[in-house]
Structure 1
């Protein structure tokens, strides 16, 4: 059990480092203007058109690094720095989010699988932590609540791992498109790839962290049974 604590703390430390590197990379590359002068909005709209997608809107949302694709209302949501920005960071983020729109339009299997899990996850996430907390408190009486909590958390962990191919594939689509369509030059491409690499690592660390936490709860449950 002590080993589980060490792993969780280590993963948390790595996660903080990756988040810091991601933020610093995007800040660095946001200072590098694109040679073609296009904004994130213009890049996103062009990638959608080039992919024969005409029913997805590109909109601006508040916040920093709040960029995302919403399959429910078919919108590519870009933060102000990306929407209006004409930098390498803006190009990387805008094309990545459009990569998700392309996945949706082409019925990418991993995205479909993840989307199917969202309704259950949204419900279970409301109660999971309370079920686990109650399970830990009642562990000496009955293992059932904790077993239920572990099962719910296992689904969350599975979701985090399913997210990995979705994110990596979106980045690969984005990088291929900006290179093939000469949205960036060779120097800018290297920077865009580096930025998206660090973004992907945040999902990888999150998945590993979720697995480490799951194994900790499993060890508690198995210890009770012993």
Structure 2
């Protein structure tokens, strides 16, 4: 059976590859102009309007691949390359983020659950690593701090796995919309689908990495209890 430590190293390598591949694909498809000439911001606005969403703003944000939907203030935040870009990559990413806005409008259950976990996760992330570190040092004395740390880390792992259906569903909605509304040609659709697939893989690897780390900490806790 593969050890949690070796699994973490393996997933780290896969994560680095997937991250590189995503950036490579985004750069490649950013060079392919969208046939209809729409910008990412225009694609986003059209998708929102077509879904009857008029209370969500489309904004430009700094950075690369920093695109996200904020359900708190109802904003679709697009990186400048996506907001102003008129490429296949820009259209795919903009539509994907609007997919989250559609999920919000339709009260998509996994999105609601993920949003509900955010406050608890925010608090846990502030103290989790310190509690785990203290737990490792105190393991020969008491397993309680590490057990608390493992519990908090389990919450972050749960969050990572809940994120998966949210991201895959947003991509599904985005691809269905850009195809049905002729935003892309058949050739461009294939590129958009490929770009969003690699984006989704980053979340898969992150979830597996979180699980591997959780198993590693759990193995430390289990080993410490056996030695008592």
Which structure 2 segments of 5+ residues have no match? Answer: none
Question: TM-score when scaled to structure 1?
Answer: 0.99
Q: Name 2:30's counterpart in structure 1.
A: 30
Q: Name 1:219's counterpart in structure 2.
A: 219
Q: Residue 126 of structure 1 aligns to a residue in which SS?
A: helix
Residue 88 of structure 2 corresponds to residue 88 of structure 1: yes
Residue 66 of structure 2 corresponds to residue 66 of structure 1: yes
Query: How far 1:225 moved relative to its partner?
Result: 1.1
Q: Name 1:202's counterpart in structure 2.
A: 202
Q: Name 1:39's counterpart in structure 2.
A: 39
Q: Residue 23 of structure 1 aligns to a residue in which SS?
A: helix
Q: Name 1:153's counterpart in structure 2.
A: 153
Q: Name 2:104's counterpart in structure 1.
A: 104
Which structure 1 segments of 5+ residues have no match? Answer: none
Q: Name 2:5's counterpart in structure 1.
A: 5
Query: How far 1:5 moved relative to its partner?
Result: 1.3
Query: How far 1:71 moved relative to its partner?
Result: 0.5
Deviation digits for residues 46-103 of structure 1, max 9, x if unmatched? 0000000000000000110000000011000000000000000000000000000000
Higher mean displacement: 71-80 or 1-10:
1-10
Alpha-carbon RMSD: 0.9
Q: Deviating runs (4+, > 6 A) in structure 1?
A: none
Q: Name 2:134's counterpart in structure 1.
A: 134
Q: Residue 60 of structure 1 aligns to a residue in which SS?
A: strand
Deviation digits for residues 157-177 of structure 1, max 9, x if unmatched? 000000000000000000000
Question: TM-score when scaled to structure 2?
Answer: 0.98
Q: Residue 3 of structure 2 aligns to a residue in which SS?
A: helix
Deviation digits for residues 1-26 of structure 1, max 9, x if unmatched? 98221100000000000000000000
Q: Name 2:57's counterpart in structure 1.
A: 57
Q: Name 1:170's counterpart in structure 2.
A: 170
Tell me the distance in 2 between the aligned counterparts of 1:121 and 1:81. 30
Q: Name 2:120's counterpart in structure 1.
A: 120
Tell me the distance in 1 between the aligned counterparts of 2:38 and 2:171. 19
Matches for 1:184-203 after TM superposition, within 5 Å: 184-203=184-203
Tell me the distance in 2 between the aligned counterparts of 1:100 and 1:27. 23
Q: Name 2:78's counterpart in structure 1.
A: 78
